[in-house]
Amino acid sequence: MIERDKHLLEVFEHLLRMKNECSCNIFSECGLTDMTVKQITYLKVIDEQGDVTFSSLAEITKNSKPTITEMINKFVRMECVYREPCPDDGRILYIRLTEKGKKIATAEQAALRRVIERMLNSLDEHEMDLLIEILQKVR
């Protein structure tokens, strides 16, 4: 049993390394190699929220407005976000993702898709069906 556990651990470590490699490739494609997990999380929040303002982002992330302003300024310099005035009230600024920002925000999903693509290229149809069936049993 210990040998099986060890082998399963090795297999999952390999899968995680593949996913991390795919994520790193995506960040490299964006010209970024030093994004923090926290920064990626903020970009995901902006992506998910749609019309997000500085105040709403501060509330969602439980940060102060000055902290959010500093972070957004950094993201603007990194060309990940831009500010867009509200058409109804010019005092309100929305935080929008650039294409680069969207690519980073969705990098984890894209990395998983790349891992799945590698699986599809390695397994035949029956093996993929079997893998899906087995993984669905895991809770």
The number of C-alpha atoms within 13 Å of 14 and in the hemisphere containing its C-beta is 8
Query: What pLDDT, on the 0 to 100 scale, is given for residue 1?
Result: 65
Indicate whether 95 and 120 sit together in one domain: no
82, β-bridge pairs: 96
Question: What is the C-alpha end-to-end distance of the chain, expressed in Å?
Answer: 21
Whether the CB-CB separation of 106 and 115 falls below 8 Å is answered with: no
pLDDT in tens, the chain (139 residues): 688 888 888 888 988 888 888 887 887 787 776 777 788 889 999 999 988 999 999 999 999 999 999 999 999 999 999 999 988 888 899 999 999 999 888 888 888 898 889 988 999 999 999 988 988 888 8
41 shares its domain with 87: yes
| Residues 43 and 86 reside in one and the same domain | yes
Is residue 69 located within the same domain as residue 101? Answer: yes
Sequence-ordered list of residues with C-beta below 8 angstroms from that of 75, at least 6 positions apart, any chain? 39, 42, 43, 81, 101
Cα distances from 87 to residues 30, 90, 93, 139, in angstroms, run 30, 6, 9, 47
User: Torsion angle of alpha carbons 63, 68, 69, 75, nearest 10°?
Assistant: 160
* Domain count along the chain: 2
The whole-number pLDDT of residue 76 equals 95
- Residue 11 is predicted with a pLDDT of 86
Give the length of the chain. Answer: 139
Indicate whether 84 and 41 sit together in one domain: yes
CB neighbour class for 121 (10 Å; exposed up to 12, middle 13-18, buried from 19):
exposed
Cα Rg of the chain (Å, integer): 20
- What CATH number does residue 44 fall under? 1.10.10.10
Q: 99 and 117 share a domain?
A: no
Give the burial class of 87: count Cβ atoms within 10 A of its Cβ; 0-12 exposed, 13-18 middle, 19 or more buried: exposed
Does the pTM exceed 0.75?
no
